[in-house]
Amino acid sequence: MTVGIVGLGLIGGSFAKAYQEAGHSVYAYDVDESILSLAQLAGVVSGALDESSLPLCQLVLLAVYPQAAVDYVIRMAPHISKDCLVIDCCGIKRAVCEALFPVAAEYGFPYLGGHPMAGTHNSGYKYARANLFKGAPMVLVPADSDDILLLDRAKKLLEPAGFGRYSVTTAREHDEMIAFTSQMAHLVSNAYIKSPTASRHKGFSAGSYKDMTRVAWLNPGMWAELFLENKDCLLYELDVFLEKLTEYRSALVNQDRAELERLLEEGKRRKEEVDGH
C-alpha cells in the first residue's frame, strides 16, 4: 500500500512510522521541509507527497490543523485518485467535514472525518512513535452512516496503526462530546496552573497535581483553533462548569458543611454512574 501523510507532527509522524514499520510506502508533506528531510533520512518516508506521488496513494491521512486540512484538500483535490480514501485526523469535525464532503463528492474520491483518540502532552515529530495508536479508539465520521463498505474499507486501511476499536458518529455529536472529554480538560488544566501558588508547589504535590496539570502543557496555536471552531459546544460545557463551581464556592463562603458534603457526595456518585466503581 502507498500512504500519503499531510503533516509530520506527533500524529502524522506516528502514522508514518507505523505504516513504514508494517512495510508500506509512505509519502509525506510538511510545511517544515527540515522535518520531511529528517523523516526521509531515517527511512520513515520514501519521498515528498506532491502532484506526482499523490495520485499513487490508496490512503491519505490529514494530520494538520483543521483549516490547513481543508486548504490542502481543496488545493490538491485534482491530483487525488478516485480509488484513494482520504481521512482527516483533526480534533473537530463539523468545520472540516462540512467543507470536505462536497469537495470529495465533486472530485469523486471517498472521504471520512476521523479522530484518533491518542496523543501525549508533547507535540512534534521527535515525539512520534509507531505504537502511539496501539489499542486506542478511532472515531470515524462518514457522510452516510449506512455506507458499511466504506467503513469496512477504512478499518482495513487503518489496520497498520493498530487501533483497538472504532466508533462511528456524526460531526455534531463528535464535537459535543469532544468539548467535554478533551477541550474542557485542556482549558481547565491551563487555567488551574495560573494560580500564584503554583510556583511553590514542589514538595507538596503528588498524583492529583500531576493529573490535573498534565495537559496544561499544550500547543497554543492548535488548541486555540480547536476551541474557536467548536466554541458553541465548549461554551456550553464551560457555563455548566462555572455554575457548578459557584455552588461549591457558596457552600464554602457560607460555612455550610452539610451542603458541601452533599455536593461532594453528588460528584462522587456521578463519577460512579458514568465510569463505574
Domain termination residue (choose one: 120, 154, 169): 169
Count of structural domains within the chain: 2
Are 72 and 118 found together in one domain?
yes
Range of the domain at 256: 174-275
Residue 60: which residues within 8 A CB-CB, separation 6 or more?
3, 4, 5, 6, 49, 54, 80, 84, 85, 86, 87
Question: Would you state the cell numbers that stand for residue 44, as one nine-digit string?
Answer: 520513515
Domain termination residue (choose one: 150, 169, 188): 169
Are 122 and 161 found together in one domain?
yes
3-state helix, strand, coil in the chain (%, to 5): 55, 15, 30
Are 51 and 163 found together in one domain?
yes
Residue 18 near residue 37 (C-beta atoms within 8 A): no
CA distances to 15, 27, 67, 172, 276 from 21, in Å: 10, 14, 30, 35, 37
Are 180 and 149 found together in one domain?
no
Separation of alpha carbons 238 and 186, rounded Å: 12
Are 97 and 137 found together in one domain?
yes
Are 59 and 43 found together in one domain?
yes
Are 114 and 36 found together in one domain?
yes
Amino acid identity, residue 24? H
Separation of alpha carbons 43 and 143, rounded Å: 36
Separation of alpha carbons 82 and 50, rounded Å: 16
Distance of CA 253 to the CA centre of its chain: 39
The values of phi and psi at residue 73, to 5°, are: -65, -40
Are 180 and 71 found together in one domain?
no
Are 213 and 262 found together in one domain?
yes
Identify the CATH number of the domain in which residue 79 sits: 3.40.50.720
Are 86 and 108 found together in one domain?
yes
Element (H, E) at 98: helix 94-107
Residue 163 near residue 133 (C-beta atoms within 8 A): yes
Are 117 and 213 found together in one domain?
no
Q: What is the tally of helices (H) and strands (E) in the chain?
A: 11, 8
Per-residue pLDDT of the chain (277 residues; tens, 9 = 90+): 999 999 999 999 999 999 999 999 999 999 999 999 999 999 999 999 999 999 999 999 999 999 999 999 999 999 999 999 999 999 999 999 999 999 999 999 999 999 999 877 777 898 899 999 999 999 999 999 889 999 999 999 999 999 999 999 999 999 999 999 999 999 999 999 999 998 888 878 788 989 899 989 888 999 999 999 999 999 999 999 999 999 999 999 999 999 999 999 999 999 999 987 6
Does this model's pTM top 0.95? no
Domain termination residue (choose one: 146, 169, 192): 169
Separation of alpha carbons 148 and 207, rounded Å: 43
Buried b (16+ CB within 10 A) or exposed e, 220-244: eebbebbbebbeebbeebbeeeeee
Identify the CATH number of the domain in which residue 189 sits: 1.10.3660.10
Are 234 and 163 found together in one domain?
no
